[in-house]
Structure 1
C-alpha cells in the first residue's frame, strides 16, 4: 500500500499558493487566513493539471470566503467536466487536509482503500452540532493518475443556493490562469455559476441526503 495519493482540487486550491497553506500551516497574516500546522510540511512530490468528469457548482455559505463554496457533483458527467489540479501528497497530509476543510479535529480516511473509481463515501465526522462543519464530507474516488489512487472532497448533499464572493472567484480564476492551455476562464466560471442555479433550484426544499455509495453498491 502506497503512502502517497493524489488530492485533486477544483476550487480555490487550484491555486498552488493557496493550497500550500494546508501543507505548511499559516497565521492570520496570510492572504488566505490561519491554517493549523500539518503533521508533515513536505511539498507535493508531483503536480498535474487534468479534467475530471464531475460538474463544478457553487452552493452553501463559507465562513472564510463569505459566499458560496465550490463543489463537484458526486455523479459522473462527461458533458460537464471540470478543470482540476492534482497534488501528489502523503496520506497523513490528505487526512489533515480533510480535517481542516471540514473544520474538525481529525478524519478517518480508511475508505480510500475500498472505493472503486466513480464511487464515493461519506466521511465519519464529528460536527459537534454545528452546521459550518463537515461541508466537504464526501470522499470521491477519481481515475488513477500515473498508477496512483486519486481522490477529491465534495459534499454528499446539494446545499442551499448562493453566490460565490468576488474574492473567492478571483482566487479560483488565478488558479485557472496558472494552468497551461487555452481555457476561456471567464466563460468556464460563468457556466459553473449558471449551472449552480439549476442544480440548487432542483434540490431546493428537499431535506433528503444523497444516498451513500459504498464499494458494494455500485457507482453513484
Structure 2
C-alpha cells in the first residue's frame, strides 16, 4: 500500500516544480523562509500533468513561509482552478501532507475516507482537509485545503511570483494570462492588478 500510486494535485506554490522538490528531497525554496524536511522516499514524481479542478482558489490567513495570504482551494467557487498533478507513492503523499500540516513526517495517514467519499478531515488546521478531485489513469487525484473558507487576505509579491512562474511552467501560459488569473482570485482582487503581477513575472 505504501507504494500505491496516487496523484497529488497542487494549486498553490507547489505548481512550481523546483519549489515542490523541496517537499520531496528537502531544502528551502528561493524566496521562502522555511526549510522542508523532505520525504522518506525522496525520488521525484513518477509523472506530472497540467490539470484543472472545478471551483477556484482564494488567498487567506497568513503564511509563515511567505507572509500574506496563502492559496486555498474551494470547490464551491465558480470556474476552474489551474493545478498540476504529480504522481507520487501513497507514502510520499503522506509525507507531503504532513509537511503542509507542519507535523513530523513518517505517519502513514489513512486516506480511505477521502478516496471513497471525496472528503476527509484529518484535523482543524489550514491544510488538514483532504479532497478527492477526480481520477487519472485509474489512480485517485487528491489535494488538501482548509476545512471551511476563511476571510480573504492579500498575498505577498514573492508568493505571487512563485505561483505565477508555476502556472507558466505547468500550463505554458504567458505572463499576462497567469497574472490575470491570479489578480482575479479573492484576496488578490482589489490589491493586485494584472499589470502589477505581470511585472513580478518579468
TM-score band, normalised by shorter chain: 0.7 to 0.9
State the distance in 2 between where 1:73 and 1:105 align.
26
Check 1:167–1:83 CA distance in 2 against 1; reply closer, same or farther (3 A cut): same
Deviation of residue 9 (structure 1)? 0.3
User: 3-state DSSP class of the match of 1:56?
Assistant: strand
Give a deviation string over 1:64-108, Cα, whole Å, max 9, x none: 111100001143x5x410101000001111111111111122555
Check 1:182–1:18 CA distance in 2 against 1; reply closer, same or farther (3 A cut): closer
**Backbone CA RMSD of aligned residues:** 2.3
Does structure 2 retain, via aligned residues, the 8 Å contact 1:74–1:120? no
State the distance in 1 between where 2:84 and 2:63 align.
21
Does structure 2 retain, via aligned residues, the 8 Å contact 1:74–1:140? no
Query: TM-score normalized by structure 2?
Result: 0.82
Tell me whether 1:104 sits opposite 2:103 in the alignment.
yes
User: 3-state DSSP class of the match of 1:70?
Assistant: strand
Tell me whether 1:154 sits opposite 2:154 in the alignment.
no
Tell me whether 1:185 sits opposite 2:186 in the alignment.
no
Residue ranges of structure 2 left out of the alignment (5+ in a row): 191-202
Runs of 4+ deviating beyond 4 Å: 194-197
Tell me whether 1:140 sits opposite 2:108 in the alignment.
no
* 1:19 aligned residue: 20
Check 1:16–1:168 CA distance in 2 against 1; reply closer, same or farther (3 A cut): same
State the distance in 1 between where 2:117 and 2:14 align.
21
Query: TM-score normalized by structure 1?
Result: 0.75
Does structure 1 retain, via aligned residues, the 8 Å contact 2:58–2:152? no
* 2:121 aligned residue: 122
State the distance in 2 between where 1:74 and 1:185 align.
20
Does structure 2 retain, via aligned residues, the 8 Å contact 1:99–1:105? yes
Tell me whether 1:90 sits opposite 2:89 in the alignment.
yes
Does structure 2 retain, via aligned residues, the 8 Å contact 1:59–1:196? no
Residue ranges of structure 1 left out of the alignment (5+ in a row): 126-133, 198-220
* 1:206 aligned residue: none
State the distance in 2 between where 1:137 and 1:55 align.
18
State the distance in 1 between where 2:96 and 2:185 align.
24
